[in-house]
Chains A and B, each alone.
Chain A
Amino acid sequence: MRGPTDSILEMERITKVFPGVRALDDVNLVVRAGSIHAICGENGAGKSTLMKVLSGVYPVGSYEGRVLFEGNETRFHSIRDSEASGIAIIHQELALIPELSIAENIFVGDEPMRGPLIDWRSARKRASELLALVGLDLDPSVAVKKLGVGQQQLIEIAKALRKEVRLLILDEPTSALNEADTANLLELMRGLKGRGITMIMISHKLNEIAAISDAITVMRDGKTVDSYDVTPGTVDEDRIIRLMVGRSLDHRYPEHASKVGDVVFEVRDWVVEHPDNPGRLVCNRANLYVRAGEVVGLAGLMGAGRTELARSLFGRTYGIWHGGEMRVKGRTVNAATVREAIDAGLAYVPEDRKTLGLNLLDKVKRTIVSANEKMVLSGRLISRAKEVKAAEAYRKTLNIKASSIDTAVSTLSGGNQQKAVLAKWLFTEPDVLILDEPTRGIDVGAKYEIYKLIFRMADEGKAVIVISSELPELLGITDRIYAICQGRVTGEMPTAQADQEALMRLMTVGASPEPVSN
């Protein structure tokens, strides 16, 4: 065991009860000063609740147990108190104001004053220093909306560093970042550690945890399952998974042997121009095909044009279409609207289920039938009986964990929300299913279920396209992978012969003189 002397934070026997839920049950956490401490656990394990106790979002008195920070017992009543003590938290969802500048965002609520007025000159100067600290070379008067997600994440960190921070909490810091930005962030974390800042990182991405952590605490169902020191780079990921799920996940991806049939979906010379950036082609003569029962991956870095291609195919909902042919089951399809695309047998599960996939105000049953209400009509009106029957059937087959189909989708966990979106699209009985980042932000157990669903759809003879930023996932579940770079399909390989390096090479070839055609 670690001695208590070198610890910066000790949380002892924390219990936090919500009506009907024991969110934290006698949790202990000891964080060594100057370390990067990872907290892992499935959704609902209590990680974020624990961090909210720590940062004062749940004020002292609303939980049981003791929190010692730098040896003193904390009595935080709000997040302001914890900030004043040197604890900063960066939430999973970015909290920057898009219309304001970088400097304004960094100092919002805490503006340096000169008399009654804000001293913008010193704010900008200070902001520049902070930006340099996080490795950004940007003008602090640029509006935040013009920055990429990765840069915004760094700005969040710069904002946290504004005060003298001794403990930095990062809740899923890389969930929205691509690989380059993630690598960049991890490097920055190493740098901050060198400056003596202790960090707690919550993450689902085990490879990141493995790369950077000094200690790992695993939580499950509101309890600490295990807590141990590790050496960065030599972490046993399987051990973490076993602890997280409480059972052995021999394989992260289900076994599956595809029964591939005829070509169902074919795209030829698809050309799409960026909607706001005239002349820039987000799809440049893209060609691809998918056979019945086949799971095909689209690999590409962020901005390569994967989502743009998918959205353009799905009723031209992205960009300006300049030509190309699409065939479903041998028939040429000219789908200029989403409705026509659905009628032609296409389904598209968008990458962001909360903003694009779901109406969060809706009930589960309404969500499930919403893309194909024709199926539950009786005369001109929607038949409640038919709707209930259909929704109930899909809830059972997809194992959507909701107390009833009348539950609001907003109350479901991420994985179950994603299943509701999948149910909605399966209810349209598509021939071609395009899944854009189908497992983003959901936990290991739910991912496994989604993979099994993908395989089941393929086995039913559907053509499945999976877009994913996580190459191991594509390698784990697909039969064939297309690499995309700058709007071009730069390569194609059977998954059996693919590996991460080969794919990465194709994903970064850029303007290769001879784009591979098929």
Chain B
Amino acid sequence: MKKIKESLAGDLHQIAMVLAVAAALIVFQVINDGRMITSSNLQNIISGNAYVFTISIGMVMVIILGQIDLSVGSVAGFVGMVTAITATDWGWPWWVAVLAGLACGALIGAWQGFWLAKMGIPGFISTLAGMMIFRGLVIWISHSISKPAPRELEWFGAGSLPDWGREATGLNLPTVALGLLGAAAVVVSQVRASARRREENSRHVPVWPTVVRTAFVIAAIGYFTYLFASGNPGTSFPVPGLIVVVLVIFYHVLTQHSRLGRHIYAVGGNKAAAALTGVNVDRTYFFAMLNVALLAAVAGVMFIGRSTAAGPSDGTGWELDVIAAVFIGGAAVSGGVGTVLATIVGGLFMAILNNGLQLAGISADRTQVIKGLVLLAAVAIDVMSKRQGRPSIIGRFMRGSRAAGTPEGPAVTLPVAGPEVFAEANKAAVQPARGGETA
């Protein structure tokens, strides 16, 4: 028993999340008489929520920093409108229009980043302002009228991969290839991880949990690959889903294995300590704000592609879905905690919930109530599991006896310090901006 826990150590939260997603799928499959897990519905879930997933990748990094961006919905809407107007009204080639839209997103991100990093205005305030400003601008530049989007964008927002091999096999071969690639990646990473565990731990680590886990994951990949590949002719794993997958891989590596990623966690965990460790706090803030706006721009372009037009109210309320995904994914409001992968699972959970309730004929108002309760419950469970044990009950059992020499009883005390210490800490973080150039 202990060994099982050991082999799972660290990803318990993520495993619980994945199980919750699987359970939701199965429950809705039963409730909706098998209409949930079908090729077309899954394709629908993926391409219908790709924009949320995309933005949430950027949002989790902002939230790890202990900040928030409320303007992403407005920014996505604004960028979508800029792209549509430049392409349709001004006659720019579609790809130039897209680049212009993305450049707008980057510029807006730099603007938000400036207020946070250079002026020290909390993200909540500056992006609340941004939310109003860019929503206003969308309506202003569009005169409250929807603009048709370039047709080429449909591929990004709702497109499918080339339908090779359909006649011969009845399957979409590019999707199958992606599935195989994914399975291979899982095998390689698990083999490497278990080799590493063996090397780091001198004692014997059992192999079978890894094998079982890998087998489960591959079976799941195989099943979903089949579903996505065997849909209606002309369909495949959706292109927006593929874009999300690429972004997830890129940002997972960035946050977990690059210096910049480490710095984001360092600043979120303890800004003053990070500053005294040589982390450029301002630059980290600036990057995260710029990045989330850029991803919002990508989401905006994908969205108008799917809906074939840019509307003045596009993106309204998106920030809430995105932030919900991040917190269901286990991020902490106080910063320092969260991952890209868990955020995507959190987003998937919300998407499945939304879709499943819709299929069951539950009206939008009630869906909204249920989503709110689920968000609250998910975060409450997370908070309680952390609080009860201190360190969590699971963590305590897993560590066995007093391994780490817990000081004075098991309570892990949070840093509490007199106000002067905090004042000092704030100074440390503010100083480079304020007094640096005076010399």
A361 and B269: CB pair below 8 A?
yes
- Closest Cβ of chain B to A301, distance in Å, is 15
A323 and B439: CB pair below 8 A?
yes
A394-424 contacts to B, CB under 8 A, are 401-404, 406-408, 410-414, 416, 424
3 A-B pairs closest in CB distance: A98-B419, A403-B403, A359-B269
B347 contacts chain A at the CB level, 8 A cutoff: no
Measuring CB to CB, which residues of chain B are less than 8 angstroms from any residue of chain A?
10, 196, 200, 253, 257-259, 262, 265-266, 269-270, 272-280, 336-337, 391, 396-397, 399-410, 412-425, 427-428, 431-432, 434-436, 438-439
B276 and A350: CB pair below 8 A?
yes
Q: Kindly state the separation between the CA atoms of A42 and B223 in the bound complex, as whole angstroms.
A: 58
Task: List, in ascending order, chain A residues with CB within 8 A of B434's CB.
Answer: 275, 320
B422 and A23: CB pair below 8 A?
no
- Closest Cβ of chain B to A271, distance in Å, is 10
Q: How many A-B residue pairs have CB under 8 A?
A: 197
> What are 21 A-to-B residue pairs whose CB atoms are below 8 Å?
A20-B399, A44-B406, A275-B434, A316-B435, A316-B439, A317-B432, A318-B428, A319-B435, A323-B439, A337-B436, A338-B276, A339-B278, A350-B276, A355-B273, A355-B415, A355-B422, A359-B266, A370-B277, A403-B403, A407-B403, A412-B405
Q: Kindly state the separation between the CA atoms of A153 and B428 in the bound complex, as whole angstroms.
A: 25
Binary contact readout A26-54 vs B (1 if CB under 8 angstroms, 0 otherwise): 00000000000000000110111100100
A453 contacts chain B at the CB level, 8 A cutoff: no
Q: Kindly state the separation between the CA atoms of A319 and B438 in the bound complex, as whole angstroms.
A: 10
Q: Kindly state the separation between the CA atoms of A235 and B225 in the bound complex, as whole angstroms.
A: 78
Partner of B262, one of A315, A320, A373: A373
Task: List, in ascending order, chain B residues with CB within 8 A of A406's CB.
Answer: 10
Q: Kindly state the separation between the CA atoms of A18 and B262 in the bound complex, as whole angstroms.
A: 34
Question: Which residue of B is nearest A405, CB measured?
Answer: B200
Q: Contacts A355-B421, A356-B273 given: A342-B278 contact, CB under 8 Å?
A: yes
Question: Which residue of B is nearest A407, CB measured?
Answer: B404
Q: Contacts A49-B408, A352-B417, A414-B407 given: A359-B265 contact, CB under 8 Å?
A: yes
Task: List, in ascending order, chain A residues with CB within 8 A of B396's CB.
Answer: 19-20
Q: Kindly state the separation between the CA atoms of A49 and B274 in the bound complex, as whole angstroms.
A: 32
Task: List, in ascending order, chain A residues with CB within 8 A of B403's CB.
Answer: 402-403, 407
A338 and B420: CB pair below 8 A?
no
Extra inter-chain contacts (9) besides given A20-B396, A354-B415, CB under 8 Å? A20-B402, A176-B418, A377-B259, A381-B253, A382-B259, A403-B403, A410-B412, A411-B391, A424-B277
A311 contacts chain B at the CB level, 8 A cutoff: yes
The residue among A19, A342, A359, A384 with the most chain B CB atoms within 10 A of its own CB is A359
Q: Kindly state the separation between the CA atoms of A342 and B279 in the bound complex, as whole angstroms.
A: 11
A359-391 contacts to B, CB under 8 A, are 359-362, 366, 370-371, 373-374, 377, 380-382, 384-385, 388
Question: Which residue of B is nearest A94, CB measured?
Answer: B418
Q: Kindly state the separation between the CA atoms of A410 and B419 in the bound complex, as whole angstroms.
A: 21
Question: Which residue of B is nearest A373, CB measured?
Answer: B259
B266 and A370: CB pair below 8 A?
yes
Task: List, in ascending order, chain A residues with CB within 8 A of B336's CB.
Answer: 359, 361
A95 contacts chain B at the CB level, 8 A cutoff: yes
